[in-house]
Amino acid sequence: DRLKESKVYMRALFDYVPLEDKATPCQEAGLPFKRGDILQVVTQDDPTWWQAKRVGDSNLRAGLIPSKHFQERLFFCPISGLTVAGLRRSFRLSRKDRQGSSGECSDPGDSEFLTYEEVTRYQQRPNERPRLVVLIGSLGARINELKQRVIAENPHRYAVAVPHTTRPKKPHEKEGVEYHFVTKQQFDTDVLNNKFIEHGEYKENQYGTSIEAIRSVQAKNKMCIVDVQPEALKRLRTAEFKPYVIFVKPRIPESRRRRTKINPSSDFLQQDEDLQEMRQSAIQIDQQYGHLVDRVLIKEDSASACAELRGILERLERESFWVPLSWVR
Ligand code: 5GP
């Protein structure tokens, strides 16, 4: 039986440093990993400590990792000698950070602690609908521009989901091409009926992208690319869409102030503040949504980011990727 390879794979949703884990029976035997790593779980015999290997690691030896159950809510109290339901303290904090201030969570999976997600390899077959590609971006990433550019290069393969708007149609526009033009009343009804993955106001008009708009792109066997606020991810993470999530971050240069040591002008100070804001935005999205991201794309400039995105899209169609097991069962 020793030869039988374990088929249980988990995506780690947190960073684990065995040397900082006071609960481990043996720190040297621990397997360090980072959020996003894929772990092959070799045995789950012990309820508290699993043995696992990191996929892609040349190291063949398995190490100890906290079991899902243990990581979620159980710890051993040495004083009472009992296993107590509670939360492992070191991981509780990071979880709270992650929820941030806007942290209203409708997804039941999200009320649990982020531990592991069971995953499997998935390759889209030719007769299957293409996976949804979701771009999220931090401040300055200009994901809409990136999306438009990559679609313009290959309009027979990629398409946007046509949004709805309440603004009047312009003479050159066609219903269903640039937008679906709807009345304010219709739009409000659609919002109430949860038809949109996201919506917002711009110059007193409403705009939004519907679930149906994505489906109709996929029905034409094209790969649908959406750029959304990261809050929309929860709605989109379903077996139907099998979204591949790309987080676009602008490459943020070092602060000017540090580079020009003497008398930074106020211009430089302003630029510094802008850069600081961009950094902060990237950190915040990473903390709150990083566990839902398949790929981070560091954007140097528009052309290279577009080329990189094109490469990713091409691989998506012909290679296999890790997806939650629940999407393919
Ligand atoms: P326009 O009315 O000039 O076509 O679009 C104006 C703005 O509406 C765009 O720059 C964009 O900010 C916003 N917009 C367009 N489509 C959508 C959408 O699907 N959702 C949201 N939230 N805003 C959109």
ipTM of this complex prediction, to 2 decimal places = 0.95
Distance CA 215, CA 2 (A): 46
Count Cα atoms within 13 angstroms, Cβ side, for 247.
20
Q: Is the pLDDT of residue 279 over 70?
A: yes
Between the CA of 219 and the centroid of ligand 1 the distance, in Å, is 24
Do residues 133 and 309 lie in contact, with contact meaning Cβ atoms separated by under 8 Å?
A: no
Question: What are the distances in angstroms from CA 283 to CA 91, 166, 280, 286?
Answer: 18, 34, 5, 5
Of residues 177 and 6, which shows the higher confidence score?
Answer: 177
Residue of the CA atom closest to atom 11 of ligand 1: 202
Distance CA 223, CA 166 (A): 26
Copy the structure tokens of residue 42.
């070799």
Q: Is the distance from the beta carbon of residue 202 to the nearest atom of ligand 1 less than 6 Å?
A: yes
Q: Is the distance from the beta carbon of residue 199 to the nearest atom of ligand 1 less than 6 Å?
A: yes
Q: Is the pLDDT of residue 259 over 70?
A: no
Q: In terms of C-beta density within 10 A (0-12 exposed, 13-18 middle, 19 or more buried), how is residue 126 classed?
A: exposed
Name which of 108-117, 136-145, 265-274, 301-310 the model is least confident about: 108-117
Q: Rounded to 5 degrees, what angle do the CA atoms 247, 250, 251 make? A: 120
Ligand 1 nearest atom to the CA of residue 199, by list position: 22
Residue of the CA atom closest to atom 20 of ligand 1: 208
Ligand 1 nearest atom to the CA of residue 164, by list position: 19
> Binning pLDDT at 50, 70 and 90, where does residue 125 land?
confident
Q: Is the distance from the beta carbon of residue 164 to the nearest atom of ligand 1 less than 6 Å?
A: no
Chain mean position to CA 132: 13
Which of 107, 39, 101, 99 lies closest to 68 in space, CA to CA? 39
> Binning pLDDT at 50, 70 and 90, where does residue 270 land?
confident
Q: Is the distance from the beta carbon of residue 54 to the nearest atom of ligand 1 less than 6 Å?
A: no
Between the CA of 214 and the centroid of ligand 1 the distance, in Å, is 16
Token pair 């640039």 is found at 178
Beta strands 223-227; 244-250: pairing state = unpaired
Token pair 């531990």 is found at 115
Roughly how many angstroms between the first and final C-alpha of the chain, as a whole number?
26
Ligand 1 nearest atom to the CA of residue 229, by list position: 22
